[in-house]
Amino acid sequence: MIPPYSENSAKRPPAARLTRSRTVIQMDLRILIVDDSDAARRILGTIVRSRQWTVCGEAEGGWAGVKKFQELKPDLVLLDLAMPDINGIEAARWMSNMDPTVPIILFTVLDMEGLEQAAKNAGICAVVSKAQGWNLLKSIETAVAGSHKSIQ
């Protein structure tokens, strides 16, 4: 299912428009990575590039991520939970308020009670444990395919 048209999605560059078929998602996917760990950002970048997707920007804190989200208008956001300024839930809330059509995936080492519900309330479409990083690519594909409003 293609996300509904919105004024915000129309402002994205032409390369960001997504084409989907029933079996394969083909795209120039632009991904923003927000994590305070330089090593985590490098690893996530490697994972993203393994599918020929583009890392359109990186941020090492929640507020910097919100600013980059507004500037770069990514197709998807990979977001850490624990950061020094604002946490990933609060950053996601800001991002979702700016453009609710952009899927946000929380990629975190933390597993707290109530995390999935808080994430869903903030507009996050999936929570992926860093301990289960092999699930990240499938979560990205699922989010982009249009089911980005339900926790996976």
The pLDDT of residue 17 is above 60: no
HSE, side-chain direction, 13 A CA sphere, residue 122? 23
* 133 DSSP assignment: G
The answer, yes or no, to whether residue 33 has pLDDT greater than 90, is: yes
Residue 120 in tokens:
């869903």
Tens-place pLDDT, residues 83-92: 989 999 999 9
How many CB atoms neighbour CB 43 within 10 A? 17
Q: Percent of the chain beyond pLDDT 90?
A: 61
CA distance 140 to 29: 10
In terms of CATH architecture, what is 7-144?
3-Layer(aba) Sandwich (3.40)
Domain spans, the chain: 7-144
Half-sphere exposure for 114 (CA within 13 Å, toward CB): 2
pLDDT at residue number 110: 75
pLDDT value, residue 19: 43
**b/e map 2-36, b = 16+ CB within 10 Å:** ebeeeeebeebeeebebeeeeeebebbbbbbbbbb
